[in-house]
Structure 1
């Protein structure tokens, strides 16, 4: 997880929090959080990077719509990140 950008980590959190979200649903969640537009040219290449790294799995809902889920490795990486953050932030 150390080699991911903050945006890629945020993608993992959004995917983990939804049930098989499609790209536009992920985009909308991040736009609400960042309070600005997320361009497709930023979103989809970063999703593909997470797929290539084995953290996210991409499925096909229909010919035009893909959905995303965390892999076991992706979930383990998020858990490890939260444990690491917990060493420094106690809210």
Structure 2
């Protein structure tokens, strides 16, 4: 996960946390968090990077909609990141 950008880590986290994570649903969640518009030219290339790295799988819901699923490797990376963060943050 160390080689991901902050935006890519956020994408991975959102993808893991929502039901039926498709592009527009992920986009909506990130726009709420960032409080600004996320352009398709930023969203989809970064999702493709997560797919290429084996952290997310891309499938088709229908001819127009892709669905993204976090892989077991992606889940392990999220858990490892959270464990690492918890070393430094006392909640």
Alignment of 1:7-86 (within 5 A): 7-86=7-86
Instruction: Provide the rounded CA distance (Å) in 2 between the counterparts of 1:82 and 1:10.
Output: 12
Contact 1:56/1:68 (CA < 8 Å) preserved in 2?
yes
How many aligned positions are there? 91
Structure 1 gap segments, 5+ residues each? none
TM-superposed deviation, 1:42:
0.1
Q: Which runs of 5+ in 2 are unaligned?
A: none
1:51-89 Cα offsets, whole Å, 9 max, x none, are 000000011000010011100000000000000000000
The CA RMSD measured in Å over matched residues stands at: 0.5
Q: Is the 8 A contact 1:59 1:66 kept in 2?
A: yes
- Give the TM-score taking structure 2 as reference length: 0.98
1:59 aligns to what SS in structure 2? strand
Measure how far apart 1:18 and its partner are.
1.0
CA positional deviation for 1:90: 1.4
Question: What CA distance in whole angstroms lies between the structure 1 residues aligned with 2:45 and 2:61?
Answer: 19
| TM-score after normalising by structure 1 | 0.98
